[in-house]
Amino acid sequence: MPTEVKVLTDVLKATKEEAARLRADFARDRTYVIDLIGGPGCGKTTLLEATLPALAKQFRTAVLIGDVATALDAERVADLGAQTCQLCTEGACHLSPSLVRVGVSELAGPPPELLIIENVGNLVCPASFDIGEDAKIAMSAVTEGPEKPIKYPTLFRKSAAVILNKIDLVEPLEFDREFYWSQIARINPQADRFELAAKKRKSIDPWIAWLTARIRAKQKC
Amino acid sequence: MPTEVKVLTDVLKATKEEAARLRADFARDRTYVIDLIGGPGCGKTTLLEATLPALAKQFRTAVLIGDVATALDAERVADLGAQTCQLCTEGACHLSPSLVRVGVSELAGPPPELLIIENVGNLVCPASFDIGEDAKIAMSAVTEGPEKPIKYPTLFRKSAAVILNKIDLVEPLEFDREFYWSQIARINPQADRFELAAKKRKSIDPWIAWLTARIRAKQKC
């Protein structure tokens, strides 16, 4: 086997093993973990702002926020009832399991019942990395246009749920909602589907109910 | 030196060398080359639709379009007067110089005077790769929120020009335009700045004039 292949295989193997260790720890601690993935500005942090107050009232909740260079997002959600840790990738395009491990080790007190990991704003790379999550959540926004699922299929194929945000702009932007969901029906028919407007706090409840059911189920494992 | 480092260094060196060869070829052929970079749905292809008819009338123009999985974007611009070649990265998050080389070799006839390379929809990874271009162009949209330059500083720092698209939505979305440009002033004060609405064909002319001046300057080299 050529050296290049050998080394890459070793790196990937170590990454997979760290993800498996994280998943085992989350199982032991009964922490339900989501990996929230979407492009820049699709509304991931705004969704956290819209949901954390309700979730953190019911469950011990922690948030890890991946960002290339700043702590802006973590500052936005710092006072909403969840422990928050910023993970700066220093230029890297996705969160690695080892960086998630660092974030988890920073959390104080008993393990959270819900851990939300907001990945780096990127529809491509984070989709390919296991970080020990129970579910990847794909998020895109009406403002990005309707063809995102077929253009970035890996993420939408792997996700347990798909969130279409900024739904209040469907009409002014003449967004083709039917086409959007027809792609999901083809790529990943099992995915649960949410349409909401995080900034306007519109249609947030079904998403909170979905998470709540899964957090409770994990508590009973 | 550990093997891992050696191999990575070799790969990076080969990539840099291929970029340098491309740049030398573009210099010999007097082809002005831009690397257009922005997140998913910020309007890169729509900008091409808005500018290609005018540019292709004046200059031999070619377009290489990077995409993870589909040829949708290339189909949109195929009949606008420029030779178009789709580069499918098969999951990779950015265009490499060797993939650009493949695209260039597919072009028929004399070398183009203008080569537009639309990179994969991603604000992170493409910023770190030299593909032989004369200028990287950073594009973001009002709909993504105003803090993109400081959140993804590598791209905005390296770009010769910054395009803020979907400017028709500044008022309804209460976009903080002053804050947006203040970040550019800090990160990259030399960058030329454009505000436009590609879909509405609004304020496109200054951008075409900017390109035109640079294409002409390269012809005189």
Mean pLDDT of A109-122: 96
Domain assignment of residue A142, given as a range: 30-220
Nearest CA in chain B to A127: B91
Q: Looking at B79-204, list the stretches that DSSP marks H as alpha helix, in order from N- to C-terminal side.
A: 97-106, 148-151, 153-158, 177-187
In whole angstroms, give the CA distance from residue B140 to residue A64: 25
Q: Which residues of B touch A147 (CB under 8 A)?
A: 70, 72
Write the residue in A3, A41, A152 that is nearest to B68 by C-beta: A152
In whole angstroms, give the CA distance from residue B11 to residue B96: 12
pLDDT beyond 60 at B179? yes
A138 band by pLDDT with thresholds 50, 70 and 90 = very high
Q: Which of B3, B4, B15, B68 to mutate to test the interface with A (most CBs of A within 10 A)?
A: B68
Whether B111 maps to a domain, the answer reads yes
A11 band by pLDDT with thresholds 50, 70 and 90 = confident
B2 band by pLDDT with thresholds 50, 70 and 90 = very low
Residues in CB range of B37: below 8 A, 6 or more apart: B119, B122, B123, B126, B127, B136, B137, B138, B139, B155, B159
pLDDT beyond 90 at A198? yes
pLDDT beyond 70 at A1? no
Residues in CB range of A219: below 8 A, 6 or more apart: A30, A113
pLDDT beyond 90 at A14? no
Inter-chain CB proximity B91 and A122 less than 8 Å = no
Contact B97, B18 (CB under 8 A): yes
Whether A17 maps to a domain, the answer reads no
Q: What is the pLDDT of residue B54?
A: 95
Write the residue in B67, B72, B151 that is nearest to A68 by C-beta: B151
Question: Looking at the 3D structure of chain B, how many domains does it have?
Answer: 1
pLDDT beyond 60 at B3? no
Whether B8 maps to a domain, the answer reads no
Nearest CA in chain B to A46: B145
pLDDT digit string, tens, across residues A28-44: 999 999 999 999 999 99
Q: What is the pLDDT of residue A12?
A: 80
Residue B53 belongs to domain with CATH number? 3.40.50.300
DSSP structure class, residue B202: B
Whether A58 maps to a domain, the answer reads yes
Whether A14 maps to a domain, the answer reads no
HEC string of A90-139 equals CCCCCCCHHHHHHHHHHCCCCCCCEEEEECCCCCCHHHHCCCCCCEEEEE
pTM of the complete model: 0.91
Write the residue in A41, A120, A148 that is nearest to B144 by C-beta: A41
| CA distance to partner chain B, nearest, from residue A42 (Å) | 6
Nearest Cα neighbor of B39 from B171, B174, B149 is: B149
Whether B154 maps to a domain, the answer reads yes
Whether B3 maps to a domain, the answer reads no
ipTM value of the model? 0.86
In whole angstroms, give the CA distance from residue B70 to residue B193: 31
Whether A65 maps to a domain, the answer reads yes
